[in-house]
Amino acid sequence: MIISHLSLTDYRGYKKQDIVFGKGINFLVGNNGSGKTNLLEAIYFLTLAKSYKTTDNSVIRFEKDFARIQAKIIDRLLFEPKIIITKIGKKIIVNNKEIDKLSDFLGQVKILAFLPEDMDLLKGPPKNRRFLLDMIIGQMDRNYLLELTQYKNILKQRNELLKMVSEKRVKDYTLLDIYTEQIASSSEIIFKMRKDFISRINKEIVKMYHYLSANNKKILLEYKPTLEDDFLNNFKKRYEKDLLFKTTGIGPHRDDYDFLIDDIYAKDYASQGEQRIIILSLLLSIANIIYEQKQIMPILLLDDVFSELDYLRQNQLIKYLDSVKIQTIITTTNIKEINSAFLKNSKIFNVSNHFVKEDKTNGQQV
């Protein structure tokens, strides 16, 4: 899967911009604040129908009524998605046909992203880790996305009821029992799907971590669910606590994940560079799983990925990406450390003041 063409209209600082990407590695080179990250955000928005940074309408260029993102994406067939964002909502159009349900659109484009926000993945709150894994599993399995949506709806209804029962506005537990049975059933399905996915990750991530880190330390992604068995009874045992706190205290919405290196939690000691290697190992492992399952290589977005990586690891990463033929779009302030042999196989774009121009010299001085 590749994005061959991207067109922006009044998106962030871009008035009008068209870019033709290469099938392999694409470097977006420019100073901080030049608009590089906005381009990755636009691709992310186009494929997942939302910004990873802010509210939707904040991407509209100053004093304009709408922003438009459109692209040509080649899978087995040509796929042409377009999103129009206005101050009151957004419209999704695919191959000139408007999409009514977001769930019909999500997952059609397989994308993986390393973003500045991901540097909080190891040491940040559990919701960051849940969001990343949920987004990725959802792209691979639409049933997971539907089940997770259903779970969140049940959770919301159950929490509202807990508050009403706690405040004596509802005295009958019949409805609470029904919601509890529903949430227990949904929790078990999500738990099994997450557990299976983490098992597949751990078979891949060891190889990727060893390659990128150039060491033989053992890495493990540990799934830490709040429930593993006897789901219904465990939910019922918590009635008293849930009513006291007026919220559901266990379930997939409280699950967590942790990375271990040689049986020690990486969040307790990993440097910025080591954290980058761990997250990259995770993303590249997921790319391999997607390919095994769907026979499709996802599009990879890497924002400021070279920061904190030395010459060896930068080139190890590029060497791998070049060898597996995965389309990658990388933002960076410079490409001085990248081996010239890799640059010859890449496309390089210079970005300045929200304007993009392809560097026909491939980064070489002429």
Residue 108 pLDDT greater than 60, yes or no: yes
- Residue 265 CB burial class (10 angstroms; 0-12, 13-18, ≥19): middle
Helix (H, G, I), strand (E, B) or coil at 289: helix
Nearest to 42 by CA among 19, 81, 70, 15: 70
Q: What is the pLDDT of residues 285-307, one digit of tens each?
A: 999 999 898 888 999 999 999 98
Q: DSSP H helical segments within 102-173, as ranges?
A: 102-105, 126-140, 142-166
Beta-strand relationship, 299-303 and 111-114: parallel
Instruction: Give the DSSP per-residue string, 325-365.
Output: T--EEEEES--TTS-HHHHHTSEEEEE-SS-EEE-TTTT--
Rounded distance between C-alpha atoms, residue 251 and residue 171, angstroms: 24
Residue 365 pLDDT greater than 60, yes or no: no
Could you tell me the domains of the chain? 1-110+296-366 (3.40.50.300), 123-295 (1.20.1050.90)
Q: What is the pLDDT of residues 239-252, one digit of tens each?
A: 999 999 999 999 99
Beta-carbon contacts of residue 191 (< 8 Å; ≥ 6 apart): 225, 227, 228, 231, 252, 255
Give me the count of residues in the chain. 366
Nearest to 277 by CA among 248, 247, 243, 312: 312
Q: What is the pLDDT of residues 315-360, one digit of tens each?
A: 999 999 999 989 999 999 999 999 998 899 899 999 999 999 998 8
Exposure letters 151-181 (e unless 16+ CB within 10 A, then b)? beebbeebbebbeebeeeeeeeeeebeebbe
Considering the entire predicted model, what is its pTM? 0.90
The reported pLDDT for the residue numbered 366 is 37
- Residue 57 CB burial class (10 angstroms; 0-12, 13-18, ≥19): middle
